[in-house]
Amino acid sequence: MQVTRATFDEVMVPNYNPAAIIPVRGEGSRLWDQDGREYIDFAGGIAVNCLGHCHPAVVAALKEQADRLWHLSNVYTNEPALRLARKLVDATFADRVFFANSGGEANEAALKLARRWAVDHFGPEKDQIIAFERAFHGRTFFTVTVGGQPAYAEGFGPRPGGVDHVPYNDLAALEAAMSGRTCAVVAEPLQGEGGIIDPAPGFLAGVRELCDRHNALLIFDEVQTGVGRTGHLYAYEGAGVTPDILSSAKALGAGFPIGAMLTTAAIAGSFKVGTHGSTYGGNPLACAVGETVLDLINTPEVLDGVKARGERFRATLEAINAEHRVFSEIRGQGLLIGAALAPAYAGRARDFLNAALDAGTMVLVAGADVIRFAPSLVIPEADIDEGMRRFAAGVAAVAAPAAAAS
């Protein structure tokens, strides 16, 4: 059956507006579309394809598991899930793991656990969850309410209560909002969808201290920052601040759907048998992939390489900006990088994305004013250089008409 971009408009719910091209094959950091045109992938499936496309070790793990066991209900456990959970526990602060299928589900579990823990230890009145403006935590009704971007939550009727928002990097505002009623604070250690916003020095440590003061749990949403993206296995390590609950997804499966919630044994105890679940959570296929991904990423060579590649991206972006003056700031950590647009180009991030695609490079946006880069963590330097050469051509295509008009 031949399908095209027009087929999307004929058969799919219109909640997405995909590009005109349809990628059909990927290898490493390169993709090819239906017409055979090649692209350098700096988008990484929105920070998902941490090992590029079709990494041979990950493909082998999936094929091997596919010949053994695909699915069991959670009436039973399975070996891949237990192996992956053991490796996550050994590599992090956590004692216990809950598997889900996505970042939204991992965050849903984290938020429900925080509420349940508070009820168990302090009573039902301790129900306030505080999150940050411009945050993104998923698309379930609970997580979209906790997320700090109203546009994603409006128009669906009454939202879950007990959720408040304060500005990111504003400890005074957080302190004013907290009380004995606060059961949890949820934060991205580096805001992603909100514009690649770095935490201010001391901010995350201050959040930790306020949580301790009010007997509240600290939840880190590491769906986007986790599994090597910042040059640490999880970003909390680089920040020197340990959460009580952590959510992980995206890169954990390198493109195969999986999510995980990590926490301590004491907190996990509030999820007694039957209080929460997931039909596909802990799926053997997903966990076999996740174990291989973790083995490949969690090495000094790869994590140090992420930092070095990030510096290469930054240096090239600075050189592009020296010529075209389109960015006001380059920010982020490791290989989660945001190029914030200068005021003259406000609101035009998608124009740069489209021009880059025309030039043969895939990038992302993080709002209307930030171009986002989240490539493979093992992208070859030659692909960085070639992709940036094409990206620079896209920047020039947008910048030249603007310069002429001025």
Annotated binding site for N(2)-acetyl-L-ornithine: 139, 278
325 Rama class: left (phi>0) / alpha (psi -120 to 50) / beta? left
Feature table: binding site = 136, 139, 221-224, 278-279
Catalytic residues: 136, 221, 250
- Binding residue numbers for pyridoxal 5'-phosphate: 136, 221-224, 279
* Cα–Cα distance for residue pair 362/364, rounded to 1 Å: 7
> Closest by alpha carbon to 42, among 385, 397, 395?
385
Residue with tokens 């698309």: 139
